[in-house]
């Protein structure tokens, strides 16, 4: 007990000590962050401004884009700043905030993906009752429940992690504050807490995954019964992007939190973290916009409106 010290900051080992590689890491993360920022902001703007997209599916998609922005903004800017300034430190308070917000956004993200699967199930399997089931009140309640679930999940795991004393070291073998890495630094026996984190996370992910799988089994069964090939293609076009996002998100996140924590920086750990922290917010807007004709049409309208407004301003100034 006498050897315990109060940790006031952590050291994030990140990707490399070589200055050239640090600059390369900064440039790559900056490009990814700007692309995710532009893509998700475009989706949010289009959904908000185009009245044709004021439906439950796009309402949920807009919230998903907000969560993607939050997820990548919590992690990437700090990592970029450390690489640019050639530093590794993150304060204790900043680490708590990073863990808390990241867990909130991730849990809410999974909740929204589950809600979107239910929305597709109702739209395809019960089209005549869609407006009655997915009414405005129901959608607001679902959105509020998803955000509340994220807050509760975050509070439980953040409190569970940072109530532990840290004394073994303050070095985190990751480019952000990750719970498995933090539990490894604790002085006390963390087996039960690690088991609780894994069990709770697996229970949440498995529950959502089972619900999504059951929903899509029923969806695909109903789709194959559609006599029109065009109708089947339209149904698949709204389901396939959602399935791709879910598969990537759950598989990479599960791998990162269930694998054994290494005692030294591992390229596999860094790759897994990038796959579930950086890649989904980056590719989600691309997946949804590339395979969704309504979003493509709304984007073209928005760009046409912006160009037209710019031309009018130029004519007025001249």
Q: How far apart are the first and last CA of the chain?
A: 76
**The pair of three-digit structure tokens given for residue 191, joined into one six-digit string:** 């087996």
State how far the Cα of 30 lies from the Cα of 36, in Å rounded to an integer: 10
β-pair partners for 186: 166
pLDDT per position as a tens digit, 77-102: 999 999 888 888 999 999 999 999 99
**Chain centre distance of CA 264:** 26
Element (H, E) at 24: helix 19-49
Q: What's the confidence (pLDDT) of residue 75?
A: 93
Q: Provide the pairing of β-strand 9-12 with 89-91.
A: antiparallel
**Chain centre distance of CA 152:** 17
Q: What's the confidence (pLDDT) of residue 248?
A: 76
Q: What's the confidence (pLDDT) of residue 318?
A: 54
Q: What's the confidence (pLDDT) of residue 13?
A: 80
State how far the Cα of 62 lies from the Cα of 115, in Å rounded to an integer: 13
SS3 assignment, position 12: strand
Rg of the chain in Å (alpha carbons): 22
- Domains (ranges, CATH) in the chain? 9-317 (1.20.1070.10)
Helical residues (DSSP H) of 163-292, grouped into ranges? 179-184, 191-224, 229-258, 267-277, 279-290
Q: What's the confidence (pLDDT) of residue 165?
A: 80
Q: What's the confidence (pLDDT) of residue 190?
A: 60
pLDDT per position as a tens digit, 248-285: 777 777 776 666 666 666 777 788 788 888 888 888 88
CB contact at 8 A, 172 and 13: yes
**The pair of three-digit structure tokens given for residue 183, joined into one six-digit string:** 């539990």
Query: Residue-wise pLDDT tens for the chain (318 aa)?
Result: 444 456 788 888 867 778 888 899 899 999 999 999 999 998 898 888 888 888 888 899 899 999 999 999 999 999 999 988 888 899 999 999 999 999 999 999 999 989 988 998 898 888 889 999 999 999 999 999 999 999 998 998 888 888 878 776 788 888 899 888 888 887 776 666 666 766 777 777 778 888 888 888 888 888 887 777 776 776 676 677 777 777 777 777 777 666 666 666 677 778 878 888 888 888 888 877 666 777 877 778 877 777 766 655 555 555
Q: What's the confidence (pLDDT) of residue 2?
A: 43
**The pair of three-digit structure tokens given for residue 182, joined into one six-digit string:** 């933090």
State how far the Cα of 309 lies from the Cα of 160, in Å rounded to an integer: 53
Q: What's the confidence (pLDDT) of residue 315?
A: 56
Strands (E), the chain: 9-12, 89-91, 171-172
């Amino acid at each position: 007990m006498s050897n315990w010290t109060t940790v006031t900051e952590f050291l994030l080992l990140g990707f490399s000590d070589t200055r050239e590689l640090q600059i390369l890491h900064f440039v790559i993360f900056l490009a990814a962050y700007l692309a995710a920022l532009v893509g998700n902001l475009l989706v949010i703007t289009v959904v908000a401004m185009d009245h044709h997209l004021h439906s439950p599916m796009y309402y949920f998609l807009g919230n998903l884009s907000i969560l993607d922005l939050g997820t990548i903004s919590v992690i990437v800017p700090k990592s970029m700043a450390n690489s640019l300034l050639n530093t590794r430190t993150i304060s204790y308070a900043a680490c708590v905030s990073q863990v808390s917000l990241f867990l909130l956004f991730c849990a809410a993200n999974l909740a929204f993906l589950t809600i979107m699967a239910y929305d597709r199930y109702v739209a395809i399997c019960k089209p005549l009752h869609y407006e009655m089931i997915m009414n405005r009140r129901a959608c607001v309640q679902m959105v509020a429940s998803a955000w509340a679930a994220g807050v509760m999940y975050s509070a439980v795991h953040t409190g569970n992690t940072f109530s532990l004393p840290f004394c073994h070291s303050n070095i985190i073998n990751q480019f952000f504050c990750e719970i498995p890495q933090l539990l490894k630094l604790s002085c006390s026996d963390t087996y039960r807490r690690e088991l609780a984190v894994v069990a709770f996370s697996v229970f949440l992910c498995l529950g959502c995954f089972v619900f999504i799988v059951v929903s899509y089994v029923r969806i695909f069964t109903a789709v194959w019964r559609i006599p029109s090939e065009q109708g089947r293609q339209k149904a698949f076009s709204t389901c396939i992007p959602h399935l791709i996002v879910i598969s990537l998100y759950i598989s990479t996140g599960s791998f990162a939190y269930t694998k054994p924590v290494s005692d030294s920086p591992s390229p596999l750990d860094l790759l897994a973290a990038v796959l579930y922290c950086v890649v989904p917010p980056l590719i989600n807007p691309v997946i949804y916009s590339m395979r969704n004709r309504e979003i493509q049409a709304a984007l073209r309208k928005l760009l046409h409106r912006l160009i037209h407004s710019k031309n009018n301003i130029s004519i007025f100034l001249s």
